[in-house]
């Protein structure tokens, strides 16, 4: 504590805290912060949380992110790990406005796995049915896209029906460009072959 007071008197406390955090000496950085520069606590806490995340100590990192006032960082960490239970727990407890974001991220992961039922349920739970419709259109799953539009976005039904007609005529290109006309054609050929069998 005496050292912290001397550093403060010399105007070097902030540099000392920054040096300690950059060197990974978080115990020392926290003791300097608590002794003389409490306003730097969130910054040191955040750097410590990032260090813990890099070390794979996710639960400790979560606690530090939340203490630093950055629960969204903890949520993003868990979303990146696809640890949906932990991401949802942090969102519900520390940042309720992020619950929808966690559900959307989980739905996108379900789309990547082609788990359409789960994706639809998650998008609807997130109150984002338009994202489910978009995912279904991009995958060429028009019947599901139209069904969802009827149920949740009836004001867009005319628009999606027009897009479907353009798709059938080979004129529709998905917004993202994830599905090329060639792959849509391959999908149609595969569906036709399946019907032949």
For the residues of the chain, what is the DSSP string, one character each? -HHHHHHHHTT-HHHHHHHHHHTT-HHHHHHHHHHH-GGGHHHHHHHHHHHHHHTT-HHHHHHHHHHTT-HHHHHHHHHHHT-HHHHHHHHHHH-GGGHHHHHHHHHHHHHHTT-HHHHHHHHHHTT-HHHHHHHHHHTT-HHHHHHHHHHH-GGGHHHHHHHHHHHHTT----SS--S-HHHHHHHHHHHHHHHH-
Residues 6+ apart with CB under 8 A from 50: 61, 73
Which pLDDT belongs to residue 50? Answer: 92
pLDDT in tens, the chain (197 residues): 555 554 555 556 666 767 677 777 788 777 777 777 677 788 888 999 999 999 999 999 999 999 999 999 999 999 999 999 999 999 999 999 999 999 999 999 999 999 999 999 999 999 999 999 999 999 999 999 999 999 999 999 999 999 999 988 888 766 654 444 444 555 555 445 544 54
CA-wise closest residue to 74 among 104, 52, 100, 43: 52
For 69, 81, 90, the CA distances from 94, given in Å and listed in that order, are 9, 19, 6
Which pLDDT belongs to residue 188? Answer: 57
Assigned token pair, 17: 């805290």
* Neighbour-count burial of 35, counting CB atoms closer than 10 A to its CB (0-12 exposed, 13-18 middle, 19+ buried): middle
Q: Distance between CA atoms of 170 and 174, rounded to whole angstroms? A: 11
Which pLDDT belongs to residue 194? Answer: 45
């Amino acid at each position: 504590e005496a050292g912290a007071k001397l550093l403060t008197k010399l105007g070097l406390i902030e540099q000392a805290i920054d040096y300690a955090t950059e060197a990974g000496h978080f115990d020392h950085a926290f003791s300097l912060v608590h002794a003389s520069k409490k306003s730097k606590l969130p910054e040191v806490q955040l750097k410590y949380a990032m260090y813990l995340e890099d070390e794979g100590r996710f639960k400790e990192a979560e606690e530090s992110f939340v203490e630093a006032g950055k629960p969204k960082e903890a949520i993003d960490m868990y979303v990146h790990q696809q640890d949906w239970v932990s991401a949802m727990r942090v969102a519900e407890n520390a940042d309720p406005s992020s619950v929808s974001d966690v559900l959307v991220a989980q739905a996108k992961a379900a789309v990547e796995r082609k788990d359409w039922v789960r994706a639809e349920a998650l998008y609807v739970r997130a109150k984002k049915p338009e994202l489910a419709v978009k995912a279904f259109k991009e995958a060429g799953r028009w019947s599901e896209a139209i069904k969802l539009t009827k149920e949740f976005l009836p004001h867009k039904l005319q628009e999606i029906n027009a897009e479907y007609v353009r798709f059938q005529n080979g004129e529709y290109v998905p917004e993202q460009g994830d599905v090329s006309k060639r792959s849509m054609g391959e999908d149609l050929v595969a569906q036709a072959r399946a019907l032949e069998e």
